[in-house]
């Protein structure tokens, strides 16, 4: 009798484990596409500002996806971070909108940037958050994206753009750089 109770408990436990593994895998598949050569940009245009979220595999920026191990790799990380922090060069917004870069946040677990978290598996990402203040954000007709100039490993950028006039999806393929915001 006791043994049967244990068996049921084990079965329930195994089932719970299977469920949580399945949920974890599907959450990963739905939430974050990690494809080398491809980055994602979410651009939100409002009257008083433009915000841009970058999500990219580290491989596109560095050629590796872990903490740097040598002086050469550390130098590569520092050079990449300097370019990433230069948001006004990476994202050149139509001057008609009168935008200035206000804030840059970079998060990458393997590079120990942002909140402490454990890198998961063999792959690593970097997320960049860029906030521009604008005098007339709605007048922004385009953004010139400088990611291909800055990072040779990048081949394609998938964009989602939200403006006061609506939403659109766009794809930039190297060496194209201009995203049209107004139609």
Residues that bind Zn ion (CB under 5 A): 57, 59, 65, 123
Q: Which residues contact 71 (CB under 8 A, 6 or more apart)?
A: none
Q: What is the nearest approach in angstroms of Zn ion to the Cβ of residue 11? A: 37
d(CA 55, CA 129): 9
The DSSP H or E segment spanning 127 is: strand 125-134
Structure tokens at 72: 């050469």
Do β-strands 156-163 and 38-46 pair in parallel, antiparallel, or remain unpaired? parallel
Looking at the Cβ atoms of 59 and 94, the one nearer to Zn ion is 59
Q: What is the nearest approach in angstroms of Zn ion to the Cβ of residue 36? A: 6
* DSSP string for 36-62: TTEEEEEEEEETTEEEEEEEEEHHHHH
Q: At CA 97, angle to CA 41 and CA 177, rounded to 5? A: 40
Q: What is the nearest approach in angstroms of Zn ion to the Cβ of residue 122? A: 7
Position of tokens 């990611």? 147
Looking at the Cβ atoms of 55 and 65, the one nearer to Zn ion is 65
Looking at the Cβ atoms of 71 and 122, the one nearer to Zn ion is 122
Looking at the Cβ atoms of 57 and 87, the one nearer to Zn ion is 57
Looking at the Cβ atoms of 48 and 112, the one nearer to Zn ion is 112
Q: What is the nearest approach in angstroms of Zn ion to the Cβ of residue 38? A: 11
Q: What is the nearest approach in angstroms of Zn ion to the Cβ of residue 59? A: 5
Position with the least CB separation from Zn ion: 123
Helix (H, G, I), strand (E, B) or coil at 80: helix
Q: What is the nearest approach in angstroms of Zn ion to the Cβ of residue 44? A: 27
Looking at the Cβ atoms of 32 and 178, the one nearer to Zn ion is 32
**By CB neighbour count within 10 A (0-12 exposed, 13-18 middle, 19+ buried), where does 119 fall?**
middle
């Amino acid at each position: 009798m006791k043994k049967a109770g244990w068996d049921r408990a084990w079965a329930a436990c195994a089932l719970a484990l299977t469920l949580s593994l399945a949920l974890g895998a599907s959450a990963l598949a739905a939430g974050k596409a990690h494809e080398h050569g491809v980055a994602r940009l979410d651009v939100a245009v409002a009257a008083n500002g433009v915000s841009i979220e970058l999500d990219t595999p580290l491989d596109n920026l560095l050629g590796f996806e872990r903490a740097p191990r040598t002086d050469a790799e550390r130098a590569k990380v520092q050079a990449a971070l300097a370019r990433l922090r230069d948001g006004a060069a990476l994202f050149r917004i139509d001057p008609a909108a009168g935008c200035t870069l206000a804030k840059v946040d970079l998060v990458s677990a393997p590079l120990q940037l942002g909140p402490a978290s454990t890198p998961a598996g063999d792959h690593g990402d970097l997320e960049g958050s860029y906030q521009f203040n604008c005098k007339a954000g709605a007048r922004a007709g385009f953004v010139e994206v400088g990611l291909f100039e800055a990072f040779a490993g990048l081949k394609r950028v998938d964009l989602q753009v939200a403006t006061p006039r609506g939403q659109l999806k766009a794809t930039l393929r190297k060496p194209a750089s201009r995203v049209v915001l107004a139609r």
